[in-house]
């Protein structure tokens, strides 16, 4: 019987060429944690833990600590295929979504490699690629239009998620209008507020953008403004995505049945593959739309997203947020990902089909 022999958490830091700015903070470097799970057969599964202290409360040091001190001692020795046991053990600890998710993804990667199967096929096998959506962070209208055009010219990307949430709201409305005027009907646009506006500001802004043919609106106002959020969602004429407010199956259920959202974002960096499937099945059962989100992921995180998203019909329907690794100065994979004709494909081979460059990891790790 194949078991978990060891779990390793390696902190590393890779600078971004261009910081990403949005309503809840800025990110200047990928201060992440590489998680490696080695089985009793010598197979190594990998996952990337993404700290977002301003969103979920996790830090790089905290992720390393909880994996080394709590999760690894409880999981080492368990059968590799005992995913429900893993889930039950991880759920005993409150919070820590990135740490839990990286372990879950690494386990799936190890399972795929052990079976000689791609994880996409194990999860559902619907497809092998996804259309790419590119996130546009805060800047002036001309700079954001130029970035979007560069993504279109270089990678064939025509779907853009526009960060909003500034004051006055006209700052962001001007950007979205400039993008629509520049691209016409060629581009698909949607907005994400990262909880930066109030409910009334959100409704006013969306009404001023009624003529811009937006696909979605995402987390424009805080979810804990319960009555305001429900009122706001009822006033908006596009599906309203719950993102940071819907990180567990219970939260997905609460937001959708409570009228605080009409669609959800799934991010494998915070729900792994196992919990992401549970969230997806809830969305399918309730008849709501899903987008695959981005935690400002590295290439490893992005390949995890496309591995999951391409495996299912509903998550393949819309472009996934898969391009933020383009803003990084380097990465850890032995073979860099390539976005071509607006799509990102899964890598062939068992597991997730990717490997870590040992020399690059040694260069960027911060614990030596």
Question: Residues 234-266, buried b or exposed e (16+ Cβ, 10 A)?
Answer: eebebbbbbbbbbbebebbebbbeeebbbbbbb
The span from the CA of 235 to the CA of 166, in Å, is 20
360 belongs to the catalytic site: no
Identify any residues that bridge with 6 across adjacent strands, giving them in sequence order: 38
Strands 188-192 and 214-218: parallel
Query: What's the distance, CA 139 to chain centroid?
Result: 22
Catalytic residue among 113, 163, 201, 244: 163
Catalytic residue among 100, 131, 161, 267: 267
267 belongs to the catalytic site: yes
Catalytic residue among 243, 297, 327, 343: 243
Contact partners, residue 168, CB within 8 Å, separation at least 6: none
140 belongs to the catalytic site: no
100 belongs to the catalytic site: no
Give Dmax over CA atoms of the chain in angstroms.
Answer: 61
Catalytic residue among 255, 295, 299, 331: 295
Catalytic residue among 192, 219, 255, 297: 192
Whether the ω angle into residue 136 lies within 30 degrees of 0, i.e. cis, is no
For residue 43, count other CB atoms closer than 10 A to its CB: 20
The span from the CA of 63 to the CA of 128, in Å, is 31
Cβ pair 162, 179 in contact under 8 A: yes
Cβ pair 158, 186 in contact under 8 A: yes
Catalytic residue among 218, 219, 255, 321: 218
Active centre residues (catalytic): 163, 192, 218, 243, 267, 295
């Amino acid at each position: 019987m194949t078991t978990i022999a060891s779990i390793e958490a390696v902190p590393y830091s890779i600078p971004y060429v261009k910081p990403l700015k949005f309503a809840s903070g800025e990110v200047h470097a990928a201060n992440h944690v590489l998680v490696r799970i080695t089985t009793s057969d010598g197979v190594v599964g990998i996952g990337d833990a993404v700290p977002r202290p301003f969103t979920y409360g996790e830090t790089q040091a905290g992720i390393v600590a909880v994996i080394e001190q709590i999760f690894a001692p409880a999981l080492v020795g368990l059968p590799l295929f005992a995913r429900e046991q893993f889930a039950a053990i991880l759920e005993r600890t409150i919070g820590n979504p990135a740490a839990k998710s990286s372990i879950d993804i690494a386990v799936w990667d190890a399972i795929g490699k052990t079976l000689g199967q791609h994880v996409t096929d194990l999860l559902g096998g619907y497809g092998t690629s996804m259309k790419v959506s590119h996130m546009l962070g805060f800047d002036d209208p001309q700079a954001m239009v130029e970035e979007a055009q560069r993504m279109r010219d270089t990678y064939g990307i025509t779907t853009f998620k526009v960060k909003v949430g500034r004051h006055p709201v006209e700052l962001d409305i001007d950007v979205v209008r400039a993008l629509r005027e520049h691209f016409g009907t060629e581009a698909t646009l949607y907005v994400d507020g990262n909880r930066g506006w109030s409910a009334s500001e959100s409704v006013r802004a969306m009404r001023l953008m009624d003529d811009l043919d937006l696909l979605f609106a995402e987390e424009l106002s805080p979810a804990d403004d319960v009555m305001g959020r429900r009122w706001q969602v009822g006033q908006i004429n596009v599906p309203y995505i719950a993102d940071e407010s819907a990180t567990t199956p219970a939260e997905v259920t609460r937001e959708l049945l409570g009228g605080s959202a009409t669609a959800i974002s799934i991010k494998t960096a915070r729900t792994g593959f196992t919990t992401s499937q549970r969230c997806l099945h809830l969305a399918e059962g309730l008849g709501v739309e899903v987008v695959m989100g981005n935690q400002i992921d590295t290439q490893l995180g992005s390949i995890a997203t496309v591995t999951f998203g391409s495996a299912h019909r509903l998550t393949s329907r819309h472009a996934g947020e898969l391009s933020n690794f383009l803003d990084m100065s380097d990465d850890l994979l032995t073979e860099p990902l390539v976005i071509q004709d607006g799509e990102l494909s899964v890598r062939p081979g068992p597991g997730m089909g990717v490997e870590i460059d040992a020399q690059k990891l040694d260069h960027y790790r911060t614990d030596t």
